[in-house]
Structure 1
Amino acid sequence: MELLTNNEVEEVIKKLGYTKSLNWTLSEFSETLLGYLSEHLTLTVEVLSAKCKTERIKLFIKCLPRFDEWKTRYIKELSFFQKEYVMLNDLFRKIEQGTSKWRPRCLLVREDLFVFEDVTELGYQMPSARSTFELNQLKACVISLAKFHAQSYIFEEKRSKELNRPYRIWDEYSEYLKHPERCSSWRDAGRKAIIDYLKVYSKQKDNPKFISNIESVITTLYDMALSLMKPSSKYRNTVVHLDLWANNIFLKKDSDGNTNAMFVDFQMVIYCSPMLDLSSLLYFNTNRGLRESYTGALLDLYYEKLSEELSAAHINVNTIMDRVTFNECYKDSVIFAIIQASLSVPFVVMQSKTRDNILREPDRHQTFYEVSRSKEFIEIALQDDYYRYRVTDLFEEIVDRYVIQPDEYK
């Protein structure tokens, strides 16, 4: 059975302004794994333009894995694909892009498959997952993030006026904007991995505070981070992406030298404090030195762009979140960011060949996801100096902040 029908391909190309498809083929989008769960393909279509000329266009397909039963079952149990289906087929049709694009255009939505414009054909590139972001790349991401978040607020404010009562996206989409409980085994394995790794590589491993506190503190931090993944009663919530690591971001320099960013893969979206996105963006994609130097400036940039986007819709940013509250919101989100990064960074900074070997073995990746990955992280750090630097840089900040000198960071 074909993954797509001829009628579906015709539907897609007509949305792009073409009159007829002449031929189409499917191929692997990349030989390297882009994400850990879904399958990614290229749809190449020969089309007949309005001027009766033949052109070739490339589109991007994300679909459920066709040849890995465990991954398909796992995705369905977590409702990841269902989340993204509802976002693309319903909520994002209502939420506008705003003053500039922060996600690719979606051309076909099925419960098992999505077709998007291929942003690499527009000059966008995926940054290296192994390297940290440059400042101009971070700024581009922060600007797009502010515009993405602003559209949730704008939609809520418009609906509130239409209904003549306060409206929140959570009211209508709570079923799809929760973090799945099925992820507990993934997080438990991650918690164990960070403790085991630090017992080997932390410079504080012989410190009495470390020895007596490391397991209880890390466990508490993981519980606190999980509690933040729910709608906040303290701050104005928004739809957050939650997974802004390099492979879910595309960047492009325009003719003026400015960098623009678009986000993909909305399968983990939840409804909560917006700063979970901003803080985790930084912790996923930077080192400690850059965060200490530039976080303040990036917070300023986010708030400025959020204000501009809201102002264009005649909304005062202070009715959403004033600047003092915004700063408090970010500070409160750091626990989530540093813990979420501890789950992701050890994966994303692996050599691609190493990661692919692990995740392409059906008998191995289930254990790796849900049982234990400590051994792999410790061994890779022994063999790969850069990996050890990136992972230890992140994990050691957890030790400094919450184990050795917790009062300093209150």
Structure 2
Amino acid sequence: MQKLNVDTITECLPFSYFQRSEDLIVFDDISMENFRSLPSQIPYDLTLLSLTVKKLAKFHASMFAFEEKMSEKIGRQYRLGEEYGEYLREIFFLKDETHAGAVLMQTGVRSILDVVNLFPEVKIPFDFKKVWPKLEHLFFEVIKPSDCYRNVLAHGDLWTNNVMVQFDNDKPIDCRFVDYQCTRYCPPAHDLLSVLYLTTDRATRSKHEEKIKQIYYRELDQILSLYKCDVTKIYPHEEFVETVDYIRPQMVMQSIMYNMFCTCTSEEISSFLTDDEVSKRVFFEDRKDYLTKMCEKSSFFKAKLQECLLDLYDLCDTISCSL
């Protein structure tokens, strides 16, 4: 990317100086420049959310610009997913695989039903059992490279811990994305919804989603124009809006799974996961007991899960109308 002068990518992540396979990686220590991750218990406000989404648009625009420049160079369509498909294949959200990462996520999906049962007082205006098979299918399906929409090399795991924010006194002025173990090739809306659902609260999402989508798309347009690329040809606005709704079922469910652990403090987690046997059961087998006890222990944990559940019910209401 740097050889083709796609320099904006360097503003999105720490610089890598040296790598030796399965041994050593040397990065910039950006904490020396006052970058830090925020506690996952503190939701992003509109200022921080806007900053992060603009940087995300720059990250995605850099990928699109690279593909366009490579297409010009080789005289045919070039896509990162074709060149580096081996490295961008899905490793976690897999329905039928039996390795630890896939089983972790499969357990998480099943545990959503336990979360539903934890809140019997929340009225459901539709037949949840009828909608559930469709939800489960969409969770594993829409995360795959799309045949209908243009894909991008996505970060894949943009929750609070993986966004390092730079502050000037108490004012956020920049950010970088770290931890690329979940990179995948899929519609860019997945990263955008990751930021929206995994760093904020329900009130912020409800109030500002439309504005955030506008901020993202406007920045995508501006960065692409630097490389003489036309956003309306790469990602027409109507298509971008469609992909947000296309990806949403996966991210709404993923946010419930993430918040089963990410809203806890390390002390709360360690107090429950007392030995290897308990940890194995919670992560890979059954979370019902864990979820019940954490809701009893932490009102914040319970409130966060309920917020996520309400997001799920909003989604189900829409899906049930199409069944």
Q: TM-score, normalised by structure 1?
A: 0.71
| Residue 234 of structure 2: aligned partner | 320
Letter in 2 for 1:141: T
| Residue 105 of structure 1: aligned partner | 15
Letter in 2 for 1:111: S
Over 3 Å counting, the alpha-carbon distance change for 1:92 and 1:224 in structure 2 is farther
C-alpha separation in 2, matches of 1:356 and 1:116:
30
| Residue 204 of structure 1: aligned partner | 122
Would you say 1:116 and 2:27 are equivalent positions? yes
Structure 2 residues not aligned, in runs of 5+: 92-96
1:167-212 CA distance string (max 9 Å, x none): 111111111111124343222211221111211224336x584xxx
C-alpha separation in 1, matches of 2:58 and 2:238:
20
Name the SS for the 1:271 alignment partner: strand
1:214-256 CA distance string (max 9 Å, x none): 3453343132021111111121110111111111111113489
Letter in 2 for 1:252: Q
Name the SS for the 1:137 alignment partner: helix
Mapping of 1:181-330 within 5 angstroms?
181=97, 182=99, 183-204=101-122, 209=126, 213-215=127-129, 217-254=131-168, 257=171, 259-330=173-244
Mapping of 1:8-407 within 5 angstroms?
96-98=6-8, 101-112=11-22, 113-180=24-91, 181=97, 182=99, 183-204=101-122, 209=126, 213-215=127-129, 217-254=131-168, 257=171, 259-357=173-271, 361-402=275-316, 406=319
C-alpha separation in 2, matches of 1:277 and 1:196:
27
C-alpha separation in 2, matches of 1:96 and 1:330:
26
Structure 1 or 2: more strand by fraction: 1
Radius of gyration: which is bigger? 1
Count of matched residue pairs: 315
1:99: how far off? Answer: 7.1
C-alpha separation in 2, matches of 1:152 and 1:293:
30
| Greater CA drift, 167-176 or 220-229 | 220-229
C-alpha separation in 2, matches of 1:274 and 1:111:
29
| Residue 28 of structure 1: aligned partner | none
C-alpha separation in 2, matches of 1:93 and 1:391:
46
% same residue:
25
Whether the 8 Å contact between 2:155 and 2:191 is mirrored in structure 1 is yes
| Greater CA drift, 267-276 or 283-292 | 283-292
C-alpha separation in 2, matches of 1:151 and 1:272:
15
1:140-187 CA distance string (max 9 Å, x none): 110111011111111111111111000111111111111124343222
Over 3 Å counting, the alpha-carbon distance change for 1:203 and 1:286 in structure 2 is farther
| Greater CA drift, 387-396 or 110-119 | 110-119
Whether the 8 Å contact between 2:221 and 2:230 is mirrored in structure 1 is yes
Name the SS for the 1:286 alignment partner: coil
Whether the 8 Å contact between 2:165 and 2:172 is mirrored in structure 1 is no
1:368: how far off? Answer: 2.4
Letter in 1 for 2:14: P
C-alpha separation in 1, matches of 2:205 and 2:146:
25
| Greater CA drift, 131-140 or 181-190 | 181-190
Name the SS for the 2:86 alignment partner: coil
1:319-377 CA distance string (max 9 Å, x none): 11111111111121211210111221111001221224556844443332221222112
C-alpha separation in 1, matches of 2:139 and 2:2:
27
1:99-120 CA distance string (max 9 Å, x none): 7611111223233332222221
Name the SS for the 1:250 alignment partner: strand
Over 3 Å counting, the alpha-carbon distance change for 1:92 and 1:394 in structure 2 is farther
1:125: how far off? Answer: 1.6
1:396: how far off? Answer: 2.3
Over 3 Å counting, the alpha-carbon distance change for 1:361 and 1:124 in structure 2 is farther
Whether the 8 Å contact between 2:187 and 2:243 is mirrored in structure 1 is yes
Over 3 Å counting, the alpha-carbon distance change for 1:400 and 1:301 in structure 2 is closer
Higher relative contact order (CA 8 A, sep 6+): 2
Structure 1 residues not aligned, in runs of 5+: 1-90
Whether the 8 Å contact between 2:19 and 2:25 is mirrored in structure 1 is yes
